Amino acid sequence: MKFSQRHGLTPVKSVVQADAVDEKLRNSLWSALKLLYWDAVERTDGVYSGYYLSDYGNHNLKILCQRLWLDFFKHPLDTLPNDWHKVYEELSPPSRR
């Protein structure tokens, strides 16, 4: 709680976002994902170099994407692309596509 809210200078936001997410929260969540995961995607080297969901360099990203794909989007896991750019396109909100 902010100082101004504790002292009654500004109102406390008391709405719990259970059914929908407002734009501020959506942007904050997306920014956190960008800083912690999207910006940390590693390029694989070799014959098949590129940005992929793999157990070698992007293991945590792969797990996160699998959980989002299965638990949030309710898609079958065998339809999750291995190419990071395709996954990012699917995960991105419409305003960022």
86 lies in a domain? yes
The domain in which residue 56 lies consists of 52-97
Concatenating the DSSP letter of every residue in 42-77 gives PPB-STT-B-B--SSS-HHHHHHHHHIIIIIS---G
Q: What is the pLDDT of residues 9-61, one digit of tens each?
A: 787 666 666 677 788 888 999 999 999 999 989 888 877 788 988 877 788 89
Amino acid at 18: A
Domain count, the chain: 1
77 lies in a domain? yes
Instruction: Choose between 86 and 97: higher pLDDT.
Output: 86
Contacts of 58 (CB under 8 A, 6+ apart): 41, 42, 51, 52, 84
Q: Which of 48, 80, 52 lies closest to 66 in space, CA to CA?
A: 80
66 lies in a domain? yes
Q: Is residue 74 classed exposed, middle or buried when 0-12, 13-18 and 19+ CB atoms within 10 A define those classes?
A: exposed
pLDDT at 2: 79
17 lies in a domain? no
